[in-house]
Amino acid sequence: MSIYAVLAAGGSGTRMGAGKNKVLLSLCGIPVLCRSISLFENLIDEMVVVYRENDAPDIRRLIDAVQPSFPVKLVPGGNTRQHSVLNGLKALPAKEDDIVLVHDAARCITPRTVIEEVIQSCIVHGSGVPGIPAVNTMKYVGDNGFVLSTADRSCLYEIQTPQAFRCKPLLDAYLTAGAGRFSATDDASVMEHAGFPVHITKGSKMNLKITEKEDIPLAESFIARQAGLFRIGTGYDVHRFADGRRLVLCGVDIPHTKGLLGHSDADVALHALMDAMFGAAALGDIGKHFPDSDEAYKGISSLVLLQETYGKVQDAGYTLVNADITIVAQKPKIGPFIPEMISTVSRAIGCSPEQISIKATTTEKLGFEGREEGISAQAVCMLQRMSY
């Protein structure tokens, strides 16, 4: 027995108003189509993606980017979803006992358990269609806007995809529907029309179909909650002033009568930022990675340490969203050097200057900073998981 998937990706996205097929849009940095294809890893043997001719170059590029473990065949769609799915079914080398999952590519965050359950249901019952019980009151309404009757919601389910059936019966049902000019919006309806029993499995509220603009932030919130997508870290560091030292802040030499004392170049601002990055990625602190007992780091530029820090963060699967650094010093005045600092930090880690914020403040001569005994710095950063 082989298991196939037909991915319906030929929509126009008119209701989305994005000016292009919604499966080409990104959710948290990953295109909808890529997410949909990845749902079926290690669950199927082959996939057919049904697409619009205008989208062919983009569709091929995204499939190449995903590099799924199963072969993917591209098939042009039709004027309707029903016609498109039929084209996809015809492209399958399906045998009598093979299973096919028909899925809307716009449902790109479907929980794996939903897919596994429809497959198991199809093995046992010959069909598996995910659904969730209706929770709202449903009414039949006439063309004039008046209620005709109220439906019994205890028997109503909101139907989702993927919908699983034996390949040959589903293909036969689609051919019968086409010959009889029967129009349906899902595969279960086609099977019902042909007289086949349809078994409902447990769906999920997370199995959201991206249809309108409002669905994008909702889907991204599901992704963030499910994958621990965003992580926030804070950092704090202090260094005292000392004679005969350079004053280096965010990789920039600042003219002053004294510098900061430390094992490295004592760049207090970058040390706070590195601690924030390590904290957000749950990798410990700067002392763990760059101990001041190690002669290799004596006098080293903190820009070099920052690059190593960000490399470790990326190796852990994260990328920087933004960072905010506050430097606390009575003297010297930091403001004139902030643009150069932002440029230096962003170049060092290969991000946009818009992702780096640097501010300076005094303590109104209070505390050790106010007494000009040293400088402190605080940093906050947000990381985003690169793959999930």
Mark whether 250 and 321 lie in a shared domain.
yes
Per-residue pLDDT tens for 231-250? 899 999 999 999 999 999 99
Of 207, 227, 247, which marks where a domain is finished?
227
What average pLDDT is seen over the chain?
Answer: 92
- Could you give the angle at which helices 302-315 and 268-280 cross, rounded to 10 degrees? 10
Cβ proximity of 346 and 277 under 8 Å = no
CATH of the domain at 343: 3.30.1330.50
Of 210, 227, 244, which marks where a domain is finished?
227
**In this structure, are strands 26-27 and 30-31 parallel, antiparallel, or unpaired?**
antiparallel
pLDDT band for position 388 (cuts 50, 70, 90): very low
Per-residue pLDDT tens for 103-134? 999 999 999 999 999 999 999 999 999 999 99
Mark whether 235 and 380 lie in a shared domain.
yes
Mark whether 194 and 333 lie in a shared domain.
no
Mark whether 177 and 310 lie in a shared domain.
no
Q: CA-CA distance, 288 to 278, in Å (whole number)?
A: 10
Q: Residue 332 in 3-state DSSP?
A: coil
Mark whether 168 and 273 lie in a shared domain.
no
Please name the amino acid found at residue 219.
A
Mark whether 23 and 78 lie in a shared domain.
yes
Percent over 70 (pLDDT), the chain: 96
CATH of the domain at 159: 3.90.550.10
Of 198, 227, 256, which marks where a domain is finished?
227
Mark whether 216 and 353 lie in a shared domain.
no
- The DSSP output letter for 128 is E
Mark whether 68 and 25 lie in a shared domain.
yes
Cβ proximity of 194 and 172 under 8 Å = yes
Domain total in the chain: 2
Q: Residue 37 in 3-state DSSP?
A: helix
Mark whether 89 and 181 lie in a shared domain.
yes
Whole-model pTM above 0.75?
no
The answer on pLDDT for 65 being more than 60 is: yes
Per-residue pLDDT tens for 11-63? 766 666 666 788 888 887 789 999 999 999 999 999 999 998 888 899 999 99
- DSSP assignment of 184-237 equals -SSHHHHHHHTT----EEE--TT-----STTHHHHHHHHHHHHHT-EEEEEEEE
Exposure string of 175-211, with b = 16+ CB inside 10 Å and e = fewer, is: eebeeeeeebebbbbbbebbebebebbebbebbbbbe
Please name the amino acid found at residue 211.
T
Which residues on adjacent β-strands are paired with residue 158?
Answer: 132
- Could you give the angle at which helices 338-349 and 302-315 cross, rounded to 10 degrees? 40
Per-residue pLDDT tens for 76-87? 988 899 999 999
Per-residue pLDDT tens for 274-320? 999 999 999 999 999 999 888 999 999 999 999 999 999 999 888 89
- Residues, the chain: 388
Residues in Cβ contact with 106 at an 8 Å cutoff, skipping those fewer than 6 apart: 11, 22, 23, 32, 36, 209, 210, 211
User: Of 23, 228, 225, 220, nearest to 105 (Cα)?
Assistant: 23
**Domain, as residue range, for 330:** 230-385
Mark whether 138 and 18 lie in a shared domain.
yes
Mark whether 255 and 138 lie in a shared domain.
no
- Angle, vertex CA 328, rays to CA 323 and CA 329, nearest 5: 140
Mark whether 234 and 210 lie in a shared domain.
no
Q: CA-CA distance, 244 to 30, in Å (whole number)?
A: 51
